[in-house]
Every structure is written in C-alpha cells, then in structure tokens.
Amino acid sequence: MTSVYELMDYAEVIERFDPVLGLEVHVELHTNTKMFCGCANVFGGEPNTQVCPTCLGMPGALPTLNGKAVESAIRIGLALNCEIAEWCRFARKNYFYPDMPKNFQTSQYDEPIAFNGFLDVTLDDGSLFRVEIERAHMEEDTGKSLHVGGSDGRIHGAEHSLLDYNRAGVPLIEIVTKPIEGTGERAPEVARAYVTALRDLLKALDVSDVRMDQGSLRCDANVSLMAKDATEFGTRTETKNVNSLRSVERAVRFEMTRQAAILVAGGKITQETRHFDESTGSTSPGRTKETAEDYRYFPEPDLTPIAPSREWVEELRGTLPELPWERRKRVQDEWSLTDAELRDLVNAGAVDLVAATVDAGATPAEARSWWVAYLTKEANNRGVELSELAITPAQIATVIGLVNSGELTNKLAREVVTGVLEGEGEPEAVIEARGLKVVSDDSALEKAVDEALAAQPDVAAKIRDGKVAAAGAIVGAVMKATKGQADAKRVRELIIARCS
Amino acid sequence: MSDLIRSTAAELAARIASREVSAVEVTQAHLDRIGEVDGAVNAFLHVDTEGALKAAREVDDDIAAGAHVGPLAGVPIALKDVLTTEGVPTTVGSKILEGWVPPYDATVTRRLKEAGVVILGKTNMDEFAMGSSTENSAYGPTRNPWDLDRIPGGSGGGSAAALAAFEAPLSIGTDTGGSIRQPGAVTGTVGVKPTYGGVSRYGLVAFSSSLDQAGPCARTVLDAALLHEVIAGYDPMDSTSINAPVPPVVAAAREGANGDLSGVRVGVVTQFSGEGYQPGVLRSFEAAVAQLKQLGAEIVEVSCPSFDYALPAYYLIAPSEASSNLARFDAMRYGIRVGDDSTRSAEEVMSLTREAGFGPEVKRRIMIGTYALSSGYYDAYYGSAQKVRTLISRDFEAAFATVDVLVSPTTPTTAFRIGERTGDPLAMYKADLCTIPANLAGNAAMSLPSGLSDEDGLPVGLQLMAPALQDHRMYRVAAAYEVARDAAAGAPLIQGVPQLAGAAR
Ligand SMILES: [Zn+2]
C-alpha cells in the first residue's frame, strides 16, 4: 500500500509548530511462565504448542497471577522513579479481536501498579532530557494472526488467517509517558533516545529480552503538533509497528512533516492509528473505525486486588542493579574518559562489552579501541548489533594479551579476530589453523633479511653508508617474504645490525 | 420403584462401603430410572452411561481391595451442564456450545471423581444459567416432577428435578442469583449456595464471576453436607477461592439432627413478605418459623432496608460481567461456527455465530450489560450497583451482629406454569427476589422444603442465610428443622412426589 503524501520541509515544521510526543512502550517480560497460567513463555515455538485452557480462553478456565511478573513490574516502576501503588487491581478491556482468546484483555486501567516517574535520557550531544512517566501497568499479550494469501501479510486482501496463541497471555508491562513537550526540532531524537534509554534500563534489570525485532519491546508513538500561538495540544495520531530504534526516530519525523503539511493546507488531523512502513519510512492509516472504541473497562472479578507491602517494595528496591546512567558515570570516572569518549562508548552500545573485556585483563583503552573503533565497523558490515557479534570479551582480551606479548602484530590480531567472527574457534585455534604466529625466530628472519639485502644491493649500500631511513624498503621486502608474520620492529633491528 | 433410588446418599454410601450393594448396581438403578422417566422430565442433557458404570466399577474394585474410600464413594450424582467434564459434552444449555467436549475437568468435577462419586451425566439449565425456570435452555424445558406442567425453577432446574424425580440422590448446581435455592424450593429439595470462594469456580463456565458459586443439591440436609465437604476447599486455580478450612458442615448437620436449637438466634428478614408473596408460601414460612421457635431458637425480626435494591443492582452487575464473560464465544476456538463460507471476515463470522448461537434472554442480558458498562453510563449503572452491593453487605453485617442466621421464604411463589412468565421478564426476575442479597454479599445461604403450600399443594422453600464461612450454622438449623418437619408430617416431604408416567412398578 503506497500513498503519496504532501510533506513539509522539516525546518519549516519547526518554525511553525511545536511537536508534542507521547510514547507507549510495551515490554514482554521474560518470566518462565505466562501472566495468568503455567504455560511456558518462550519466543518462537511451533504454533499453538504453548497453550492451555486459561490462555486459550476456554469456557470455565480462570487466571492465576504470576507473582514474578508483579515483582518485575514493581522493579521497573522503581527504576523509573515511580510511586508503587499500595493497592491496585486488574481491569478488563473489552473488545473483539480474533487473536484475543477471551475478547477482553486483562489489563490495568485507572489503578496502575506504578505511576508518576521519570527517565533522564542522554541525547547525542551528551545533554540530558527528562521524560516524565505517567504510568507503568501490567497486562497480557494477545495471540498472533497470520494472514495468508495477501500481498503483504496484512489482513487486507488475505485469503484466510491462521491464529497462533503461543503469545497469548505473555506478561506485558506498558510504560506510558506524560506528554513530552519542549523538544523542538529534537523531537525525533528524543523519541529514539528515550526508547534506547528504556531498553538499556530494562536490560540492566534483566526483566525482558528487549528485542525490538522479535517484538519483546514495542513502541507506539503518539505525535501531535501545536501551532506556535496555540494553547492546546493538537489532534494526535498513534503510529504502531515501529520495530527499531531508527524507526522510532523516522516515524516521529515523518508524522511531523505529514501533519504540518495537512495543517497549513487548512486540513484537520484525523485521530487514528497509523502503521509505520520500514521500507518507505512513511506511515499509513490502520484499521479505521466509524466510532471511537469504548473498551467498557471494569475491575477484573476473577483476580483479587494486589497490595504490595511497603516492606516488599523496599526489598525489591534493594535488588535494583546499578542502573545504566549510574554505571556510565562510574566508568567515566574509573576509565578517565572525556565526555566525547563516553558518548562514543555509549552510542556504540559497548559499555558492558568493554567492562567485561577489562575484567578479563585488558586495559580500558585497549578494550575501547577494539570494541568502539574496530568491532563496531565489523558489526555494521555484518548488519548485527555489537553485542550479537560472535566474539566474547574474554576472546578479545586474549587477543590483546597476545599483541602485548609480541606474539601477534596488530594486523595479525585483526585477522585472528576475523577468524573468530567467522566461527573458526578460539583465538589460539585460529592462529594455529591460519598459521598466524609472528615469526620470532631470528635465524629465519636473518635469512630473509640477507636475501632481501642481496636482492637490493643499492639499498643495502645506502644503509651501510648510514642512511638508516632506506631500511624501510628492506623491511617491506622481508614482511612480504614472511607474509606479514614478522615483527617489523625486530626486522628493522636485524637489518641495521647486518649492515653495521 | 427400586428402594435404591429412594435412598439417601448417606444410606447408599454405607451400603456400598459394606458391600451390601455394589456401586454398579446403584448406578445401574439410577440409569434405569433416567431411562424410564427422563423423557417426561428432561432433567438430563447428556447421560454418560459408560463413564458412570466404569467409575462405579472402580469404586467396587477399590472397596473389594480393601482400599479406604470417601464418604460418598459409589454414590451417583447429576452434574449441572455448566461445569466442564473432560471428554463429556458441556453445553451450558446453549446452542453456541453444541457439541463442545471440554479438554479439562472443572475442579468440582475432579474432586467428585477423586472422591469416587459417580457422575451420571449433565443436567439441563437455563442457557448460561440465565433464568429462573429452565425454559431458557436451548434444549427444551425441564419439567417439575411434582407437576409436569410446571417449571422446576432455574437456572438449575435439571439438577433439582433429577433429585425430585429420583434420577439421582445428589446433584451439583450453581447459584448466581438463586439458581440452586429457587429450584430447590419449587421441587421440594435441599440446595446450598456456599460462601463465595468456598467452592472453586475453576471450570464453571462463567455467567457473573463475582456472584457465581457452585454448591450441593440433595434430598436431605445431611446428604447436602456430605457433598459440600467433597467439593469445597481452597483451589490455587481459582484466585477468588478462600484459603481457609472448609466449615464443618457435616458435623453441624449431625448435631442439628438432635433437634435442639436452644441458644440459636434466628432473624426473620422483614423485607421479604407482603405484596407479591403467595399467601400459601407465607403461611408455610410462618409455620416453619414457629417450628424453629419450638426447637428452642430465639426468633427476632431484622430489617435489612438495602435488600429492596438488591434485584435492580443484581440486574446491572450480573449482565455487565456476563457481557464480558460471554465475549469469548466467537466461533474461533470452540463451539458452533456460522457463515464461514470463505466470503466473510472473521468479524462477520463472529457476529453471525453469536446471533444464531445465543438465545433471546442471553442476548437481552449481554445488551443490558454492554450498556451499563459503556463510558458515560458506567458510574450511574455499574458504579451505583456496586455501592448498593456494599450497603447490602453492611445490612448483613449489622444483622449478623445480633443473630446467628437469617430466614425468609426462598422464593415468593410456588412453581409457576411453563410459559406463564416467558413473556414478562420482570415477573420472571422476581423469582430471585429473596435469594439475590446473599449472592451480592457473598455469604452462605440455602433452601430446604418447609412443606407444601396449602392452596396448590406444591413445595415451598425456607431460606437460611449465614455469615461468610459460617455455612455450618445454617446446616445445624436446617437439620434440626428437617427432623421436626418430617416428624410432624409423618414422612419425608419428598415422598409426596407423584408417580411419574411410565415409572410405575
Ligand atoms: Zn496457558
């Protein structure tokens, strides 16, 4: 489905309007079992194999609450500086949809478990932006519909649909921001930075896989524009299917330029759900309904209220790990990083990897140079996240150690790392298999030096005359002869010794 | 008529345990009786002959092997079709679940099986337990064994009629607004709604989750108590199940049978009399109260003014919850599917299925509930109803501060004629006038026969109500009254049920 939109130039949008954002992030918790039943909570099983009467919504089946999910919800709330409800309930959100087994979602409505918090997010220039959190509440995920026979996997044009309920009942935490104002032109950047910060936080809490590509972290972006002289928020749209950090930024930017064009042309923004298309970077209207959905919320009578004791909440506060921003502050101090160096490290997503490499024996500078400078490029080339590269901090530390002991040159070290990335085994095995050991045997080198000097008598004469700079040509010849496995510094020493 | 089908569950259990009679013989006698009379009564939607005989054989084998068996082992039971039974159809009296065979047992079903109670089959009911006459069943009405032209009450008319027709000595009902007690009253049988949370709702197809409660039905108070103890108790599968010991109802029933109620304070609810009450029902009730006094109880009048608002509050809360609970019947995973001819969307198939699958009373309540929960109306309807609920709980609390149990007629009239109220939903709803407060407050309540109405010769029910988790109080009073009533009449009331056609021996 391609539609043509009038879009306004971004600079003009900013000149005429103030953007207001609202971000709703759904996080799938990686508890062992689902929210309200004992089924396994695992991504990617054969369809309809992780189901039971409860998560299939069978007549008569009842929910029982997963205590671990409540614990995760409270820890997330605490990490987001929220208040934790002393008493709250689940509510039923009623609407019909084929992939929702009960045709109501067990969620929380006016009594969320956590509310009134904030998250300070770091922007690209290192400055902080505070995003206020409205609430974090618990709910269950729906199943998945697979539309067969259509052109693009969407329901429109499909011949039939298949339903997979493995995901139905997976615990979700929905984190909703208050309206984010005052971002100006940085609105798209703030949106991305917020989701990034939230992802890092949830990862540190170890409550979710936070994989946007697998849907364990999903972001809905609400965007509206206010004319510069306006006093009330404009009509907003809600963009779904925003499946990567980059898409968050693109979707917000697109909506801003689309809405601005409509508004200046005298049009009105339709309050609607829109669908982000990764390939075109544009949004298109989702299912339109003639009337606003009335979810007919009421307290879930099948579950008892949740009343977390203050003692338990404090106990959980004690389990919070070092949070990403605390960790960043600490590594900056410990590793003596400039703000720019810290930013590069954070932007590369390399803090944990560098720290682990340091723990395995490398210096922070060595570890940073590998992860931030070299491996980030490798990750880009391979189209994966840095943390998904098939090499461990311990392996990098090993390679660094071999360089320091002179057993590898930097060039050989990179080749060893390539071997590891290609799945050829541990660094030692790669060195063995590829024959990458530095030639440190002087007699072998001396032979190569002698041959090179003999092959270039003019150069040899110059060196003997004291023109040491000429030795470079001989070094090059020796390195070529030894296929780069010689230590260039040692070769130079041997040449000068031979010619004196 | 075989003496086996006229025996109490307690007698049958004792005779089976002592191997005087086998569980298979007892089960077969009841299956034969069902075969003879159920064509006229229509108490059963499904008879599981094979499963029942197999379960009976297992009990006989256990007893022969000297194994310890439960107090009701080998006794047959009829299960209301609202409780799931693995491998045995469960329809909830609705077209929409026609042919559905659940893959799992309700906790009540499981407990019965574990106790060696033999499940004969599934009983007829108003569709989704919505009704007071069993006329709303998609599978035809059940008839009252006392007069086949009359209703057996509802929604659990099948479970009550099965007892009165001697098709089963025990049955299970569920009570959302009186669906155990009102059928008990109009069929001359005993029906108990335990304290909410006393019996697990897991596998009970929900009508109104905050009100539904399964309970025992029997022909005697002691039989109901024995069954109560088999099915009650904490269940981790039901979050609203109470994690506390089961009230000692069997001991209370045995104690009450001694006939001494001195020291017991009985409160008569003043709200439940006057206009709309059949005079014969009120006379029977007054006689019952006089009988209790004679047994030594102290009688006081108690006013519960909020009970006047119970019926309207109930008809907002129950339909609201039902509108949500019944949303799952959408043709996607179970039950019938209508209009799936590959030209229609899933939403259209859902809609056509629900249109064809639900009966008019179910649709009426879904619409009432959907309206009451709508934004803009929620506070005025659902919100206000919840406040009434709180007031009713307070009335009960105040009453139970001065009395041990409350009494009232179970239902304002005796069994009405089939078809008499089907065109007038409000008249139908009034059958539950006296029973609803206990559902809204969640406390225990029961009905037992107080005799026959002098104007039409039909059974009248006496309702007893007790505080939450004090179910044993009403069993004690009921057992004492039952002994006195039968002594005065010279025979158990239930023996007055007429011979049913085709059942003569
Ligand atoms: Zn499940």
pLDDT tens-digit series, residues B313-335: 999 999 999 999 999 999 999 99
- Going from the Cα of A164 to the center of ligand 1, the distance in angstroms, rounded, reads 13
Q: CB contact, 8 Å: B139 with chain A?
A: no
Among A140, A96, A473, residue whose Cα is nearest residue A287? A96
Closest-approach residue (CA) in chain A for B382: A298
Distance CA A81, CA A76 (A): 9
pLDDT above 60 (res A219): yes
- Position A156 scores a pLDDT of 63
pLDDT above 60 (res A290): no
Distance CA B282, CA B502 (A): 35
- Position A159 scores a pLDDT of 76
- Measured between CB atoms, which of A59, A92, A304 is closest to B205? A59
Please judge whether A104 and B202 are an interchain contact, meaning their C-beta atoms are less than 8 angstroms apart.
no
Comparison of pLDDT for B436 and A493, the residue scoring more: B436
- Measured between CB atoms, which of A160, A296, A301 is closest to B374? A296
Q: Which residue has the tokens 């086998």?
A: B22
Cα B27 → chain centroid: 22
Of the listed ranges A118-132, A178-192, B14-28, the least confidently predicted one is: A118-132
Q: CB contact, 8 Å: B334 with chain A?
A: yes
Q: For residues A453 and A471, is the Cβ–Cβ distance under 8 A? A: no
pLDDT tens digits for range A147-158: 887 666 566 667
Among B409, B397, B422, residue whose Cα is nearest residue B463? B409
| Interface list for B 96-135 with A (CB within 8 A) | 97, 100, 102-104, 106
Q: CB contact, 8 Å: B237 with chain A?
A: yes
Using CB atoms within 10 Å of the CB of residue B7, give its burial: 0 to 12 exposed, 13 to 18 middle, 19+ buried.
Answer: buried
Question: In chain A, what percentage of residues exceed pLDDT 90?
Answer: 66
Distance CA B97, CA B45 (A): 13
- Position B505 scores a pLDDT of 38
pLDDT level of residue A343 (50, 70, 90 thresholds): confident
Average pLDDT of the segment spanning A60-71: 98
Amino acid in the structure at residue B183: P
Give B376-382's long-range contacts (Cβ < 8 A, gap of 24+).
B378/A296, B378/A298, B381/B316, B381/B320, B382/A298, B382/B316, B382/B317, B382/B320
- Position A347 scores a pLDDT of 81
- Position B69 scores a pLDDT of 94
Give the largest Cα separation in chain A, rounded: 99
User: Which residues in chain B are closer than 8 Å to A161, comparing Cβ atoms?
Assistant: 346
Q: CB contact, 8 Å: B387 with chain A?
A: no
Distance CA B74, CA B485 (A): 29
- Position A165 scores a pLDDT of 96
Q: Measure in Å the smallest separation between the Cα of A314 and chain B Cα atoms.
A: 26
Distance CA B73, CA B58 (A): 10
pLDDT above 70 (res A1): no
Q: For residues B352 and B270, is the Cβ–Cβ distance under 8 A? A: no
- Going from the Cα of A57 to the center of ligand 1, the distance in angstroms, rounded, reads 9
The end-to-end CA distance of chain B, in Å, is 6
Among B130, B106, B82, B113, residue whose Cα is nearest residue B238? B106
Residue B49 phi, psi (nearest 5): -55, -50
Q: For residues B217 and B172, is the Cβ–Cβ distance under 8 A? A: yes
A-to-B residue pairs, Cβ atoms closer than 8 angstroms:
104
Write out the DSSP string of B286-334.
HHHHHHHHHTT-EEEEE--GGGGGHHHHHHHHHHHHHHHHGGG-SSSSS
Average pLDDT of the segment spanning B171-181: 98
- Position A154 scores a pLDDT of 61
pLDDT level of residue A292 (50, 70, 90 thresholds): low
Which residues, other chains included, contact A419 with Cβ-Cβ below 8 Å and sequence gap of 6+?
Answer: A425, A427, A430, A433, A434, A436
State the complex-level ipTM.
Answer: 0.96
Average pLDDT value for chain B: 96
Asked if omega into B155 is within 30° of 0 (cis), the reply is yes
Q: For residues A388 and A379, is the Cβ–Cβ distance under 8 A? A: yes
Average pLDDT of the segment spanning B472-490: 97
User: Which residues in chain A are closer than 8 Å to B92, comparing Cβ atoms?
Assistant: 59
* Residue numbers of B annotated as active site: 80, 155, 179
Other C-beta atoms closer than 10 Å to the C-beta of A385 total: 11
3-state class (DSSP) for residue A218: strand
- Position A310 scores a pLDDT of 98
β-strands B405-409, B265-269: how paired?
Answer: parallel
When computed from its CA atoms, the radius of gyration of chain A, rounded to whole angstroms, is 29
pLDDT tens digits for range B262-305: 999 999 999 998 889 999 999 999 999 999 999 999 999 999 99
Among B227, B156, B226, residue whose Cα is nearest residue B186? B156
When computed from its CA atoms, the radius of gyration of chain B, rounded to whole angstroms, is 21
- Position A352 scores a pLDDT of 87
Q: CB contact, 8 Å: B439 with chain A?
A: no
- Position B502 scores a pLDDT of 57
- Going from the Cα of B147 to the center of ligand 1, the distance in angstroms, rounded, reads 47
Chain A residues within 8 angstroms (CB to CB) of chain B: 53, 56-65, 92, 94, 96, 98, 101-104, 159-161, 163, 294, 296-298, 301-304
- Position A443 scores a pLDDT of 78
Average pLDDT of the segment spanning B28-50: 98
pTM confidence score: 0.88
3-state class (DSSP) for residue A24: strand
Q: For residues B112 and B77, is the Cβ–Cβ distance under 8 A? A: yes
Among B225, B207, B206, residue whose Cα is nearest residue B216? B225
Closest-approach residue (CA) in chain A for B104: A53
Question: In chain A, what percentage of residues exceed pLDDT 70?
Answer: 96
Q: For residues B46 and B21, is the Cβ–Cβ distance under 8 A? A: no
pLDDT tens digits for range A461-499: 888 888 888 888 888 888 888 877 788 888 888 888 888
- Position A498 scores a pLDDT of 82
Distance CA A258, CA A7 (A): 5
DSSP category for residue B498: P
- Region of B296 (left: φ > 0; alpha: ψ -120 to 50; beta: rest) is left
pLDDT above 80 (res A250): yes
Closest-approach residue (CA) in chain A for B326: A102
pLDDT level of residue B151 (50, 70, 90 thresholds): very high
- Position B287 scores a pLDDT of 97
3-state class (DSSP) for residue B191: strand
Please judge whether A103 and B237 are an interchain contact, meaning their C-beta atoms are less than 8 angstroms apart.
no
pLDDT tens digits for range A367-404: 999 999 899 999 988 888 888 889 999 999 999 998 88
Q: CB contact, 8 Å: B32 with chain A?
A: no
Helix, strand, coil tally for chain A in percent (to 5): 40, 20, 40
Q: Measure in Å the smallest separation between the Cα of B202 and chain A Cα atoms.
A: 6
- Going from the Cα of A171 to the center of ligand 1, the distance in angstroms, rounded, reads 12
